[in-house]
């Protein structure tokens, strides 16, 4: 049986045969006895000012053993928050990811230059993952050149899928109702590879990014 890892979802893990990372805001983070999570402040939810106490609380949440990543942090030119404010919040969350030693899940909309500028400035040790990537192959190549991982959901450009090395590719549902198994099947078809090969490649990537301290087998 193929194992389907969903690295970013806003749904509960209800499908058989899959493991997922449920994305939460600080206000909605309420971990159960099992399950994996990411926690962060989305640029759409960014207030005019984030109190220092809120950053301390977010760092404490990020250090929780069931939290596997920080985010989604983001830069989004369609969001109402000023870009200066978005960048400041992004830097704080990227710094928290470095402090707790966990990857950063990135929400990116029409702000590639800003993202790459911040990545060059911060030179992070922890992986940065652009989630829900729908861009063209040229943009994929630019992000990959700067060391980012790309996570694909229900909608994607097939050429971008084929451009992305298997060692940098992740898969997610985000808010889509499309089952994770179907998204895997679509990605495998786009790459013209067996589904089992894709599942194994993503498993290896998930282990190296999120579970490097132990095996997922």
Q: How far apart are CA 200 and CA 177, in angstroms?
A: 24
Distance of CA 164 to the CA centre of its chain: 16
Residue 193 backbone dihedrals phi, psi, to 5 degrees: -130, 160
Residue 40 backbone dihedrals phi, psi, to 5 degrees: -175, 180
Query: Do the annotations mark residue 131 as ligand-binding?
Result: yes
Query: Do the annotations mark residue 8 as ligand-binding?
Result: no
Grouping H, G, I as helix, E, B as strand and the rest as coil, residue 71 is: strand
- Tokens representing 204 are 């290896």
Cβ count near 90 (within 10 Å): 27
Query: Do the annotations mark residue 98 as ligand-binding?
Result: no
Provide the 8-state DSSP code for 20. Answer: E
Provide the 8-state DSSP code for 101. Answer: T
Query: Do the annotations mark residue 72 as ligand-binding?
Result: yes
What single string gives the DSSP state of each residue in 143-165? HHHTT-EEEE-SS--HHHHHHS-
Contact between 179 and 158 (Cβ < 8 Å)? no
Peptide bond into 32 cis (omega under 30): no
Contact between 168 and 151 (Cβ < 8 Å)? no
**Which residues line the annotated binding site for a divalent metal cation?**
72, 107, 131, 174
**Which residues line the annotated binding site?**
72, 107, 131, 174
């Amino acid at each position: 049986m193929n194992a389907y890892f969903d690295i970013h979802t806003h749904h509960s893990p209800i499908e058989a045969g899959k493991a997922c990372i449920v994305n939460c805001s600080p206000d909605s983070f309420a971990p159960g006895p099992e399950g994996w999570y990411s926690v962060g402040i989305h640029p759409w939810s960014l207030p005019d000012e984030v109190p220092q106490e809120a950053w301390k609380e977010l760092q404490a949440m990020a250090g929780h053993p069931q939290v596997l990543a920080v985010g989604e942090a983001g830069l989004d030119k369609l969001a109402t928050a000023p870009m200066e404010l978005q960048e400041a919040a992004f830097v704080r969350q990227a710094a928290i990811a470095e402090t707790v030693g966990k990857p950063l899940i990135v929400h990116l909309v029409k702000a590639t230059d800003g993202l790459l500028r911040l990545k060059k400035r911060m030179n992070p040790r922890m992986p940065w993952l652009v989630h829900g990537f729908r861009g063209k192959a040229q943009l994929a190549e630019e992000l990959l050149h700067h060391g980012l991982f790309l996570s694909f959901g229900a909608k994607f450009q097939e050429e971008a899928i084929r451009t992305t090395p298997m060692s940098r590719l992740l898969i997610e549902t985000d808010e889509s109702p499309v089952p994770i198994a179907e998204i895997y099947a679509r990605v495998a078809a786009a790459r013209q590879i067996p589904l089992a090969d894709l599942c194994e490649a993503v498993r290896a990537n998930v282990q190296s990014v999120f579970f490097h301290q132990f095996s997922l087998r």
